[in-house]
């Protein structure tokens, strides 16, 4: 009996240790998405929910990279769409057309991301603030023009479609949504890995250095933080995340179209990061859901919005304005406030219970 109790205690202790682990939340989040897929395969969840989940996960990966730039580095960049498009076309061209293996494609794409990140990073060393945002906007436009004009690479105006592929020699292609399931699982894995990578970067000296840089360049430099190193690092990381997001995107949708990677996509990613809360990982996921997922998963099914589809756009815009005006720190602040209220209420209840149980203390 004693031994059994000790065993149970130990189990509880270990369980608590697992729950307290910093990665637990992210892995749990990923597991929830996997359970969603299981539910879908049982037919309990509609396909639109699954599509929303994939889109939210892919765009969260991109936004996480962006938040490293904006929330931690304090560098606003509006060229995200170009980088995401680049990733999708690299995947579509190298793997889809030239038949390179996935590993080679990944390595080549990462080296391209490194090169682009370094270029933009060097630009950011000279140009700052709003000027940097607009110059990167120009870079995004250059990339978009490049995609439209260079049609052997991107397919031009007809777009680049992507054929289904096999992984580890197992044939997932044979209908029944097997390919879809595989991509879903890949996306979930990349999503969890991206979140874990981000939390590691944020909590490490690199993240602290980025934060210091955001608050004041000169102060950070005088503390011995190398501006050139961390600016370049921030841009390289952001570009890598964006290119990975693009690759996941073309895997999922099997299509990428040059004119779609325009300014409004970059702005939407920026909006997702700002609305959710630029320094919080879960906040960014919420922001991405609000900007990209709310329409396809919820609003399209409300009869009022079905009758007037124009109001969906207005609703989304008004939501962004209201959130930014009243919660400048992002929606995650709202959740934190709610949590604080709940904890406070719970504490009061606990006190009341104690008073009832043990009587008033004099």
Partner 1 sequence: MPGIDIAIRQILIVNAILFLLFFVIDIAFFRKKIKRPLYRGRLINALITIGILTMFVASIKVFTWPLLLQIFLLNTVDLCILILATTGVVLIFKTSVTTNFAQGMMATFGAFFATTVVIRLMAKYSGSQTLYLFIGLFSGVLVSFLLGLIIDVGIIRRGRHVSSVGKQMITMGLVMVLMGAIPVIFGSNPIALPAFSIDVEIFNIGEHILVIPVQNLYAIVITLVVLVILFAALRFTKWGLGVRATASSEMVASMMGVNTRAITAMSWAIAGGLGAIAAFFYASSGAQVQVASMVGVQVNAFMAAVLGSFSSFGGPIVGALLINIFSSIAPFYDGTWQVVIVYGIILLIVLAKPLGLFGKKTAKKV
The CB-of-353 to partner 1 minimum distance in angstroms stands at 41
Q: Smallest distance, Å, CB 312 to partner 1?
A: 7
Q: Which of 360, 361, 274, 358 minimizes the C-alpha distance to 320?
A: 274
Residue 290 DSSP one-character state:
I
If the CB atoms of residues 139 and 247 are measured against partner 1, the closer one turns out to be 139
Structure tokens at 116: 């682009």
Toward partner 1, which CB reaches closer, 95 or 214? 214
Beta carbon of residue 76, minimum distance to partner 1 (angstroms, whole number): 6
- The residue with tokens 């052997």 is 152
| Of 160, 156, 182, 151, nearest in space to 169 by CA | 182
Residues that bind partner 1 (CB under 8 A): 70, 76, 123, 126-128, 130-131, 133-135, 137-139, 141-142, 145-146, 149, 216, 218-219, 263, 267, 270-271, 274-275, 308, 310-321, 324-325, 328
State the minimum distance, in angstroms, from the CB of residue 254 to partner 1. Answer: 27
Q: Which is nearer to partner 1, 110 or 312 (CB)?
A: 312
Which of 83, 75, 120 is closest to 261 using CA atoms? 83
Give 160's strand partners: 256
Could you tell me which of 92, 66, 201, 106 has the C-alpha nearest to residue 154?
92
User: Among residues 70 and 285, whose Cβ is nearest to partner 1?
Assistant: 70
C-beta of 42 vs 218, nearer to partner 1: 218
- Beta strand ranges found along the chain (DSSP E): 160-161, 255-256
- Residue 149: CB minimum distance to partner 1, A: 4
Q: What sign results for the dihedral spanned by CA atoms 217, 220, 226, 229?
A: negative
What minimum distance in Å lies between the beta carbon of 179 and partner 1? 34
Residue with tokens 């936004």, as numbered in its chain:
63
Burial class, 306, CB count within 10 angstroms (exposed 0-12 / middle 13-18 / buried 19+): exposed
User: Nearer Cβ to partner 1, position 26 or 292?
Assistant: 292
Structure token digits, residue 239: 């570009």
What is the CB neighbour count within 10 angstroms for residue 108?
15
CB of 343 to partner 1, least distance (A): 27
Which of 216/351 has CB closer to partner 1? 216
42: exposed, middle or buried (C-beta count within 10 Å: 0-12, 13-18, 19+)? exposed
């Amino acid at each position: 009996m004693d031994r059994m109790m000790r065993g149970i205690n130990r189990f509880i202790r270990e369980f608590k240790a697992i729950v307290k682990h910093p990665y637990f939340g992210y892995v749990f989040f990923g597991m929830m998405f996997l359970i969603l897929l299981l539910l879908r395969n049982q037919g309990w969840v509609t396909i639109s929910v699954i599509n929303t989940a994939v889109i939210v996960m892919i765009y969260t990966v991109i936004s996480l990279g962006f938040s490293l730039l904006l929330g931690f580095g304090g560098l606003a960049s509006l060229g995200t769409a170009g980088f995401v498009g680049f990733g999708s076309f690299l995947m579509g061209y190298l793997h889809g057309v030239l038949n390179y293996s996935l590993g080679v494609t990944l390595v080549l794409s990462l080296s391209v991301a490194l090169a682009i990140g370094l270029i933009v990073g060097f630009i950011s060393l000279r140009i700052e603030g709003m000027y940097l945002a607009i110059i990167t906007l120009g870079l995004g436009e250059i990339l978009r023009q490049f995609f439209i004009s260079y049609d052997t690479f991107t397919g031009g105006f007809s777009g680049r479609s992507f054929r289904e592929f096999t992984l580890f020699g197992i044939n997932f292609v044979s209908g029944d949504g097997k390919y879809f399931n595989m991509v879903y699982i890949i996306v979930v894995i990349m999503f969890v890995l991206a979140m874990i990578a981000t939390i590691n970067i944020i909590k490490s000296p690199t993240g602290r250095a980025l934060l210091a840089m955001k608050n004041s360049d000169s102060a950070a430099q005088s503390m011995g933080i190398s501006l050139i190193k961390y600016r370049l690092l921030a841009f390289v990381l952001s570009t890598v995340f964006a290119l990975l997001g693009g690759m996941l995107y073309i895997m999922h949708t099997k299509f990428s179209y040059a004119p779609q990677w325009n300014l409004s996509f970059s702005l939407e990613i920026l909006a997702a990061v700002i609305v959710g809360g630029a320094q919080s990982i879960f906040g960014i996921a919420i922001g991405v859901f609000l900007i990209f997922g709310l329409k396809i998963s919820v609003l399209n099914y409300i009869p009022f919005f079905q009758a007037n589809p124009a109001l969906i756009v207005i609703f989304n815009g008004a939501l962004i304005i209201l959130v930014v005006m009243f919660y400048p720190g992002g929606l995650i602040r709202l959740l934190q406030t709610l949590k604080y209220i709940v904890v406070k209420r719970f504490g009061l209840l606990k006190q009341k219970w104690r008073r009832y149980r043990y009587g008033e203390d004099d």
